[in-house]
Amino acid sequence: MASTYSPSLRIELIGAGEQAGTWNTTTNSNLGTIIESAIAGYVSVSVTSANQAFTALDGAPDQARNAVIALTTTTGANFNVYAPPQEKTYIIYNTTAFTATIYNSTVLGNTTAAGTGIAIPAGKKILVFSDGTNFYSVDIFNLTGAVTSVGNVTSLGSFTSAQLLGALTDETGTGSAVFATSPTLVTPALGTPSSLVGTNITGTAAGLTAGNATTAAAATTLATTNFSIVESGGKLCFKYGVTNIAWMDSSGDLIALTVITAFGTP
């Protein structure tokens, strides 16, 4: 009885009574080359056309049997690769600057897609598996515990401010994330800032207490370039520079340093 070959890995199955005295050569090839390639093999495949099938040979080294396949290309564009129509798990390393998509062939060695494929973005490494017709990728959902990374994360995918808020445990406030340039804050409570420039503040000043001594001292001083009015001892003191020029008490009595003129022309 002649040898046959297993469907998924194309391992040579020696027929009964076959290869007397030489079966060890076949067995060593099966165990030391073919099975090892399927478990731990790495191969680099140069893709030279938009659609290219991995080589798949019976009982001999090939591309499709390897566990890890690195892709290079001379196409200068996105391309497709085709694995045999059998169950298989791969790690695909797309070393190119283009998107590679892996499919199962409908027939061993052709470039007709049997089902859905998986796109491997440029420069990415993805674990995929096939049911013989369709390829699937392995997602990393449901990770638990802290996930750490060495270096900067350049791409996190797309998510909303609310989703980011849900991932934080020590946040304050709600709403959209705010960044440095032209942010809009909705009813913020600023607390006591260590410094604050209010050049373009508009609106009413209800409840505002000014603490700058050049404009107010405990909210009791009004100052211009040369004049100031200071509340002192229950009286308003009018000054010109540092000179007291008039006082007014709570009854409205006015005492002036010099002449008081009524009904005159300023």
For the stretch 71-125, pLDDT in tens is 999 999 999 999 999 999 999 999 999 999 999 999 999 999 999 999 999 999 9
The pLDDT of residue 217 is above 50 = no
Q: Which residues contact 127 (CB under 8 A, 6 or more apart)?
A: 89, 90, 91, 137, 138
Q: Which two tokens stand for residue 88?
A: 């298989």
Is residue 126 within 8 Å of residue 98, measured between CB atoms? no
First-to-last alpha carbon distance for the chain, in angstroms, is 129
Top mean pLDDT of 27-41, 53-67, 187-201 is at 53-67
Q: Which two tokens stand for residue 233?
A: 């001892």
The pLDDT of residue 154 is above 70 = no
Tell me which DSSP letter residue 15 carries: P
Neighbours of 100 (CB within 10 A): 27
| Of 2 and 196, the one with more pLDDT | 2
Overall average pLDDT of the 129-143 stretch:
86
Q: Which residues contact 148 (CB under 8 A, 6 or more apart)?
A: none
Instruction: Name the β-bridge partners of 90.
Output: 128
For the stretch 219-253, pLDDT in tens is 467 888 889 898 888 888 989 988 989 989 888 88
- Between CA 27 and CA 5 the distance in angstroms is 13
- Between CA 135 and CA 30 the distance in angstroms is 26
Dihedral angle over CA of 88, 93, 40, 14, nearest 10: 40
Q: Give Rg (Cα) of the chain.
A: 41
Question: What pLDDT, on a 0 to 100 scale, did the predictor assign at position 262?
Answer: 77
Percent of the chain with pLDDT over 70: 87
Q: Which two tokens stand for residue 218?
A: 């405990």
The pLDDT of residue 140 is above 70 = no
Taking phi first (over 0 means left), then psi (-120 to 50 degrees means alpha), and beta for anything else, what does residue 55 get?
Answer: beta
| Of 193 and 40, the one with more pLDDT | 40
The pLDDT of residue 38 is above 70 = yes
